[in-house]
Amino acid sequence: MKRTLVIAELDHGVLKPCTHAAVAAARRAAELAGGTFEILLLGPGAGTASGALLNFGAAALHVAEHPELAEPLADRYAVAVAHVARGRGTDFLIAAASTFSKDLLPRVAGLLDAGMLSDVVEIGADSSGPLFKRVLHAGNAIATVILEGPVRVATLRAAAFPPAPRLESTAPVLAVDLSGLAWPDGTSFVARDRKTSARPDATEARIVVSGGRGIKTSEDFERLVGGLADALGGAVGSSRALVDAGITANSLQIGQTGKVVAPDLYIAVGISGAIQHIAGMKDTKVIVAINKDPDAPIFEVADLGLVADVYQAVPEMIERLQRR
């Protein structure tokens, strides 16, 4: 971990906040190993986005813009990332865990013949070298792991690495030379069905209101879960049950196989609290559960519980919150 490379995440040219967590983790890794770290930004707008990362202690920012990188296709991005990693002598590659990095980084690991850890929550060391902690078994176990080999790869949980403070120094910005690379052409981008929402993304919000099967229709979800989120200035999320029922979009799913969130406040509305759901929200500071079943497992993890019908309780909550 003498030469760490952070893979920044961009959403159509805009830096995603989770990148700051990866930068904080890289700083930690560099400190532990007495090394340095660099940041790689890929795709359209990478140059402009690099402006937001100039003062966080990176030895350099690498900007990879190329027509082949117009859409974040793992096949092509992996070729570019492996090219930079080889050229820079990178021995540790990291990114914040997301569908972008989970698609890309294992492919890079395959190209570099590197071992990889997903969902790292702690980077430490003992006399024999670096040690990592990661979450597995739907959050029911935390493993302490050694990762061997000349190159290591990891994704990390953003909530476990608070953003590092800004520094005085400014990193140089370098353009990556991608000429002469053989670009794979086996995948092609067709479309993206973007869910546009005025609400923040659940992974980036301080408050998340999440709905489960206790909510019967999309209109009810919008009125109750959406309405409560808006009254609190928060984001919305949902259980898998509502996604499966076609009531919410897949991008809202919280849990073992959805997004993992750790906000200050999480309000579970009509969610039973299956382990797969809890895996995605149990590092929240304050969990509130509203459920009509007093024995629902969600109450075992809730700080504040209310046994009630959400169709009665939530409208009253919204009304009281708006009363101020």
Partner 1 sequence: MKILVPIKRVPDSDTRIRVKPDGSGIVTDGVKFSLNPFDAIALEEALRIRERLGAAEVLAVTLGGEDSIEQLRTGLAMGADRALLVRTPGPLDSLAVARILAALVRKESPDLVLLGKQAIDDDSNQVGQMLGGMLGLPQATFVSKLEFQPDGRSVRCGRETDAGIETLGVRLPAVITADLRLNEPRYVSLPGIMKAKKRPIEELSPEALGVTAASRTRVLRLEAPAGRKAGVRLRTVEELVARLRDGAGLT
Ligand X SMILES: Cc1cc2nc3c(=O)[nH]c(=O)nc-3n(C[C@H](O)[C@H](O)[C@H](O)COP(=O)(O)OP(=O)(O)OC[C@H]3O[C@@H](n4cnc5c(N)ncnc54)[C@H](O)[C@@H]3O)c2cc1C
Q: Which parts of 238-277 interact with ligand X (CB under 6 A)? A: 239-241, 253-258, 270-272, 274, 276-277
From ligand X, partner 1, none, which one binds at residue 100 (CB under 5 to 8 Å depending on kind)? partner 1
Residue 314 engages ligand X in binding (rule: CB under 6 A)? no
Closest approach, Cβ 211 to ligand X, in A, equals 7
241 binds, among partner 1, ligand X, none (CB under 5 to 8 A by kind): ligand X
Q: Which tokens in the block code for residue 172? A: 């140089």
Handedness of CA 87, 28, 207, 225 (dihedral sign): positive
Task: Based on the shown chain and the rule CB under 6 A, indicate whether residue 134 belongs to the binding site for ligand X.
Answer: no
* Residues from 63 through 92 that contact ligand X (CB under 6 A): none
Please give the Cα distance from 203 to 278 (Å, whole number).
Answer: 15
CB closer to ligand X out of 4 and 98: 98
Cα–Cα dist 282/140, whole Å: 11
Sole window of 39-47, 84-92, 112-120, 213-221 interacting with partner 1 (rule: CB under 8 A): 112-120
Q: How many residues bind partner 1 (CB under 8 A)?
A: 90
* By the rule CB under 8 A, 74 interacts with partner 1: yes
- DSSP type of residue 245: T
Classified as helix, coil or strand, 22 is helix
If one asks whether residue 62 binds ligand X (CB under 6 A), the answer comes out as no
Near partner 1 by CB under 8 A: residue from 103, 122, 222, 230: 103
**Local structure of residue 37 (DSSP, 8 states):** E
Structure tokens that stand for 245 in this block: 């029922």
Q: How far apart are CA 8 and CA 20, in angstroms?
A: 9
- Residue among 98, 75, 90 at smallest CA distance from 15: 98
Calpha distance 155→95 (Å, rounded) = 5
Q: Is 118 in the site for partner 1 (CB under 8 A)?
A: yes
Termini Cα distance of the chain: 52
Q: Which residues of 226-259 are buried (b: 16+ CB within 10 A; e: fewer)?
A: bbbbbbbebbbbbbbbbbeeebbeebbbbbbebb
- What is the token pair recorded at 63? 């900007």
- Subset of residues 206 to 225 that bind ligand X, contact rule: CB under 6 A: 212-214
What track of x and - describes contact with partner 1 for positions 190 through 229 (by CB under 8 A)? xxxxxx-----x-x--------------------------
Stretch that binds partner 1, among 25-33, 169-177, 215-223, 281-289 (CB under 8 A): 281-289
Residue 117 binds which entry of ligand X, partner 1, none, CB below 5-8 Å type-dependent: partner 1
Structure tokens, 163: 């953003």
Q: In angstroms, give the least distance from the CB of 240 to ligand X.
A: 3
Which residue among 4, 50, 256, 291 contacts partner 1 (CB under 8 A)? 256
